[in-house]
């Protein structure tokens, strides 16, 4: 096994990226690889970690999910992408939305990569985009079956529990978003940026004197006055 295949090496690589990403783009998935990576993340969370499903969690809604920008009535996959030097490199969180009936939308399959859960804002930002983008498409009621451990997060985001459901033999809270706190968002394919709260800062500036006036540098003795 090479070092690049070593699980410890991979974990260290991911942990390092939690600090190296400058920010995260929260958007509707618009490319096939984004959908594929979002589904792979869901398998890691819902199948391997939580063991809610055996092989995968795909269902009929995923068959309706599309990256076709010409229609707004299909199920949609939302993603949070880690950005490195301006390039989208990795899907670190995802959620899914769909219109169940005219004006009635649901969110589902909220998942955050375990290496990025300390960020704190990724799940909340996806929820914000989910509700606001649906609102822009005529949503009048936005619902979700929420795992009980996540109920407090949704309550902080102005959701109210209105009932209970059993999903995969586990109790879930049926919750509804207060649309007054979610203004319509009309550019979901562009999305918005969330800063990395744990970005590593350089311990020492590479060129600390770069912006100092020449007079100060000469006076400090760091450079000598030259005559031509």
Q: Would you identify the CATH topology of the domain 12-200?
A: Aminopeptidase (3.40.630)
Name which residue leads in pLDDT, 4 or 92.
Answer: 92
Residues with Cβ within 8 Å of residue 165, at least 6 apart in sequence? 145, 171, 172, 174
Q: pLDDT at position 138, please?
A: 96
Q: pLDDT at position 206, please?
A: 42
Q: pLDDT at position 73, please?
A: 59
What mean pLDDT is predicted for residues 49-69? 86
Say yes or no to pLDDT of 209 above 80. Answer: no
The residue ranges of every structural domain in the chain are 12-200
- pLDDT over 90 percentage in the chain: 61
- Lowest mean per-residue pLDDT among 30-34, 60-64, 177-181: 60-64
What mean pLDDT is predicted for residues 121-144? 98
Say yes or no to pLDDT of 208 above 50. Answer: no
Average pLDDT along the chain = 82
Q: pLDDT at position 72, please?
A: 57
Q: pLDDT at position 149, please?
A: 93
Q: pLDDT at position 10, please?
A: 44
Extract the tokens encoding 61.
């809604």
Q: In this predicted model, what pLDDT tens digit does every residue of 151-202 receive, in sequence order?
A: 999 999 999 999 999 998 899 999 999 999 999 999 999 999 998 876 655 4
Q: In this predicted model, what pLDDT tens digit does every residue of 66-120 receive, in sequence order?
A: 776 666 557 999 999 997 766 777 999 999 999 999 999 999 999 999 999 988 7
Give 63's pLDDT tier (boundaries 50, 70, 90): confident
Q: pLDDT at position 31, please?
A: 94
Q: pLDDT at position 124, please?
A: 97
- Lowest mean per-residue pLDDT among 12-21, 50-59, 208-217: 208-217
């Amino acid at each position: 096994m090479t070092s690049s295949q070593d699980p410890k090496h991979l974990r260290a690589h991911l942990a390092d990226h939690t600090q190296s990403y400058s920010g995260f783009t929260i958007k509707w998935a618009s490319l096939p690889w984004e959908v594929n990576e979002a589904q792979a993340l869901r398998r890691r969370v819902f199948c391997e970690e939580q063991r809610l499903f055996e092989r995968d969690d795909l269902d009929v809604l995923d068959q309706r999910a599309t990256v076709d920008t010409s229609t707004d009535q299909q199920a949609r996959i939302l993603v949070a992408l880690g950005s490195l030097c301006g390039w989208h490199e990795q899907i670190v969180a995802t959620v899914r939305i769909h219109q169940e009936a005219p004006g009635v939308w649901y969110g589902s399959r909220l998942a955050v990569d375990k290496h990025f859960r300390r960020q704190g804002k990724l799940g909340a930002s996806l929820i914000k985009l989910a509700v606001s983008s649906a609102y822009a498409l005529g949503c009048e009621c936005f619902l979700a079956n929420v795992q009980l451990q996540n109920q407090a997060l949704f309550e902080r985001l102005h959701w109210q529990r209105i009932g209970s459901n059993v999903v995969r033999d586990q109790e879930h809270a049926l919750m509804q978003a207060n649309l007054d706190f979610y203004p319509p968002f009309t550019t979901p394919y562009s999305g918005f940026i969330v800063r990395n709260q744990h970005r590593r800062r350089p311990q020492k500036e590479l060129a600390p004197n770069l912006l100092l006036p020449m007079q100060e540098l000469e006076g400090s003795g760091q450079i000598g006055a030259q005559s031509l």
